[in-house]
Structure 1
Amino acid sequence: MARTQDLVRRSELLAGVVDYIADRGLAGLSLRPVADYLDTSSRMLIHYFGTKEAMLVAALETQRPVVSAMFADIDDVDLLRERLWEAWEANSEGSSSRSTRVVLQVLAEAGIQGGPFLEYAQSATADIVRELAGSLRAIDPSHTDPESVATILVSGVRGLLVDRLVTGDHDRVDRSARMLIERTLPSGPDDEARETG
């Protein structure tokens, strides 16, 4: 029974760590203020996670979407556009927006040499680019460079999320996200029919 309680408490602590980062940021983060925020002790955090870095990476893993599920059933470019727009809405203002703030901070920190988040950021980026490129191949097996298209979409969306967060100009950035998705993806049969009709 104690083991189940430990896992529940660990999950609660990780959710609290995500909230802390979303509210207060990663800069200068140390165990004591996180422990105070979570109404626990630094010693207890070390008991559960070992190190501050391990705690942060574990918290990030709880925020990582299952990208294979996001793109699993897509065989049509219009459905892919729709799925990407749904992801944009969720990450920009839906229930995932707090996680987005955390992930964007981590990606910025990953650029610091010797930082603890590089491996996480590389793996998360590789996962979503691979899955999105796989959807593009499923839609059009003759696609010449689906990885580059996927990279433009992933990096473009991340940049726009930063813009939206920093400027608060939701209308402009939402229009830009829609344009990025619409214009970067290849034309589907319906698009081609409209263009020639």
Structure 2
Amino acid sequence: MARPLDHAKRAELLAGVVAYIADHGLAELSLRPLAAELGTSSRMLIHYFGTKEELLVQALATQRPDIAALFAEVTDAETLRARLTAFFEANADGRGSASVRVLLQVLGAACAPAGPYARYAHDAIAVFVTALAAALDRIDAIDDPEAVATLLISGLRGIIQDRLITGDAERTTRAARRLIEQNIR
């Protein structure tokens, strides 16, 4: 008979995964060193999560911001620009960088044919596009809200990645603000 899951232990394990991957990277992720760092065994990680990929997907899900709430009730361009700017700053300045670093690695891995993270990456992008497009649609001054949402999301993601790689806060902040200002008038 299978041992029942200890939900508190499972939550504790998930809390440590994103920080571990941010420090060690996704490409070389191995369950044994991860398990040792988390104070458990690779066998127990498989017991709790099934696969290494599922472990990562579930860990990322615990870190996902509530995008729908971020854009809820936005009805004017000024508020939307402010929320997007705040989102960029919160995720580019280090406060959210551990989960952002991991998410960027997962998105890159999802580009591989039959990548294990393709469904997660697709869903993460779709949630963001849908919520932002709905806010843009409420503004009424935006032609093709879905395309503009895609442009903003992809552009900001690229600028955040640039910031994490180069550390150039001044240039990337200017670029993010310009992207937002030019697309939400």
TM-score by length of structure 1 reads: 0.89
Q: RMSD of aligned C-alpha atoms?
A: 1.6
Aligned to 1:83: 83
Structure 2 residue identity aligned to 1:184: N
Aligned to 2:178: 179
Distance in 2 (alpha carbons) for counterparts of 1:11 and 1:180: 37
In structure 2, the gaps of 5 or more residues are none
Aligned to 2:148: 149
What's the CA shift string for 1:75-98, capped at 9, x where partnerless? 110000000011011101253121
Distance in 1 (alpha carbons) for counterparts of 2:135 and 2:98: 27
Aligned to 1:39: 39
In structure 1, the gaps of 5 or more residues are 188-197
Aligned to 2:9: 9
Distance in 2 (alpha carbons) for counterparts of 1:14 and 1:143: 39
Deviation for aligned residue 1:19: 0.7
1:108-187 equivalences in 2 (<5 Å): 108-140=108-140, 143-185=142-184, 187=185
Distance in 2 (alpha carbons) for counterparts of 1:167 and 1:94: 13
Deviation for aligned residue 1:144: 2.9
Q: Which moved more, 1:90-99 or 1:157-166?
A: 90-99
Structure 1 residue identity aligned to 2:147: S
Distance in 2 (alpha carbons) for counterparts of 1:86 and 1:8: 32
Aligned to 1:195: none
Aligned to 1:23: 23
Distance in 2 (alpha carbons) for counterparts of 1:33 and 1:175: 40
Distance in 1 (alpha carbons) for counterparts of 2:59 and 2:20: 11
Structure 2 residue identity aligned to 1:64: R
Aligned to 1:64: 64
Once the two structures are aligned, what percentage of the paired residues are identical? 56
Deviation for aligned residue 1:143: 3.7
| Runs of 4 or more above 2 Å deviation | none
- Which structure: larger Rg? 1
Structure 2 residue identity aligned to 1:107: L
